[in-house]
Amino acid sequence: MKKLKTYYLHLRHPTTMERKWIFPLAIGSIVSLFLLFLTTLTSPDGTPLLPLYRYYSSYSAAANVFVESKLKPLPISAVPPPPRFAYLISGSAGDGNMTKRTLQALYHPNNQYVVHLDAESSPEERLDLRNYVTNHPIFNKFKNVRMITKANLVTYRGPTMVANTLHAAAILLKEGGEWDWFINLSASDYPLVTQDDLLHTFSYLPRDLNFIDHTSKIGWKEFQRAKPIIIDPGLYMTKKADVFWITQRRSVPTAFKLFTGSAWMALSRPFIDFCVWGWDNLPRTVLMYYANFISSPEGYFHTVVCNAQEFRNTTVNSDLHFISWDNPPKQHPHYLTLDDMQRMVDSNAPFARKFPREDPVLDKIDSELLFRGKGMLVPGGWCVGSRKNGTDPCSVTGNITVLRPTAGAKRLEKLIGSLLSNENFRSNQCI
């Protein structure tokens, strides 16, 4: 695990990696290898054996103290505190049940959640989701799930989608307390790892990294996206209507460089602060520019992050998703089914899309990757209830900072290790 952080530190301060680091690093690697060996000892359902895991943590902490007393302090503590994620899960008409299911699969008491069903969904459906959120005993206990009850009108491909994302981010900044990454998902996304896997792996990462798939090679998009001017009626009408095109075209901006990429991302708290507070004018100018841009969710954050000097070095060029595109890509990705299961696992990605509602592949993911029973929350170290008689182990809560990662953490570590490797990390930033 320490490997992950050293990749980043090395790339960030190459000159500080002198000989004096070799000894602590070697010790660290030996310890990590030993730990890796311990974590491979898992019970049949894939959950690591807890006593070993505890032993592992205290062992490595002790090793680190020993190293620190003799040499310069290590910049990283052995068991960094787990991060917190802030999720937006949004859907439209008919997505109510899937929004609940995705929320259950992503739940952890230390995270923050905003759910939103847009104005196309019926009031009954929104009320049903609201009742679910307000009456759930665990959500009630931790008060970390909220619903945007005054639904926004969201036009797919239009700037109202970006406005909705910024709205949720602003709510999370105001009411969500401490969190480290903002993750934007829809009701047709689903996780492929448990929250403990994600929290465990991300606890070793610098908190300022922004996971965003992007490129400046806009190619055909220059003519079909950057030059046309669109209007999104969702900004000023009460009924939904598709975007429309203005006959006049505009030239490509010279005040900033355009970037484009996937609409799915995990953005750092400092970057969300930068975008929402707007003390620098860049996020605001770019937002106004994107108000007339088709498919603005695939460009707004990408253009801001790469044009801001203080953030471009924090980008990791990935959307952390498994998405199955046609070649060449069409507007919509393939729906994922049971046939895609192996490819999803092999991708090591923590999330996948897009899933048909209540597809059997989701049941397989629940049982094989998330160890989650129907209608229950995804289990983690904080769930200490019994599994007997089909009761939800998470109905009894233990210490919520205890993480119990599963095999998913190893897959995720592989992905992050490759994204932060010398070959991939710096060379793919804002290119």
Ligand X SMILES: *[C@@H]1O[C@H](CO)[C@@H](O)[C@H](O)[C@H]1NC(C)=O
Which parts of this chain interact with ligand X (CB under 6 A)?
90, 94, 97, 161-162, 165, 184, 186, 263, 297, 300-301, 309-310, 313, 388-389, 399, 401-402
Tokens, residue 332? 């919509």
Q: Which is nearer to ligand X, 178 or 310 (CB)?
A: 310
CB neighbour list of residue 278: distance below 8 Å, 6 or more residues apart: 284
Cα 291 from chain centroid? 25
Report in angstroms how near the CB of residue 56 gets to ligand X at its nearest.
Answer: 12
Minimum CB separation of residue 312 from ligand X in Å reads: 7
Report in angstroms how near the CB of residue 26 gets to ligand X at its nearest. 27
Place of tokens 């049982």: 367
- Taking the complex as a whole, the smallest distance from the CB of residue 404 to ligand X amounts, in Å, to 10
Q: Which is nearer to ligand X, 126 or 411 (CB)?
A: 126
Residue 222 or 310: the one with the smaller Cβ distance to ligand X is 310
Q: How far is the CB of 165 from ligand X (least distance, A)?
A: 3
User: Residue ranges of the alpha helices (H) in 114-244?
Assistant: 123-135, 137-142, 159-175, 195-202, 220-221
Rounded to a whole number of angstroms, the distance between the first and last alpha carbons of the chain is: 28
- Please identify, using beta-carbon distances, which residue of 94 and 206 lies nearer to ligand X: 94
Least distance in angstroms from the C-beta of 115 to ligand X: 11
Least separation in angstroms between residue 313's CB and ligand X is 4
Name the token pair of 142: 């931790």
**Pure H helices in 74-158:** 96-106, 123-135, 137-142
User: Among residues 4 and 162, whose Cβ is nearest to ligand X?
Assistant: 162
Are 362 and 187 a contacting pair, CB within 8 Å? Answer: no
Residues 6 or more apart from 371 whose CB is under 8 A from it? Answer: 45, 46, 47, 194, 378, 379, 406
Dist CA 139 CA 137 (whole Å): 6
Closest contact distance (angstroms) between CB of 121 and ligand X is: 10
Nearer to ligand X, 184 or 260 (CB): 184
In the complex, the smallest distance separating the C-beta of residue 155 from ligand X, rounded to whole angstroms, is 11
Q: Which is nearer to ligand X, 115 or 345 (CB)?
A: 115
Supply angle C-alpha 273, 307, 210, rounded to 5: 50
Nearer residue to ligand X within complex by CB, 231 or 402? 402
The one-letter amino acid code at 94 reads G
DSSP conformational letter for 368: I
Choice between 254 and 309, CB closer to ligand X: 309
Of 92, 132, 93, 94, nearest to 113 (Cα)?
Answer: 132
* CA distances in angstroms from 179 to 113, 167, 291, 315, 427, listed in the order given: 11, 16, 28, 18, 29
E strands along 187-243, which residues? Answer: 190-191, 210-215, 229-231
**What is the torsional sign of CA 354, 356, 361, 367?**
positive
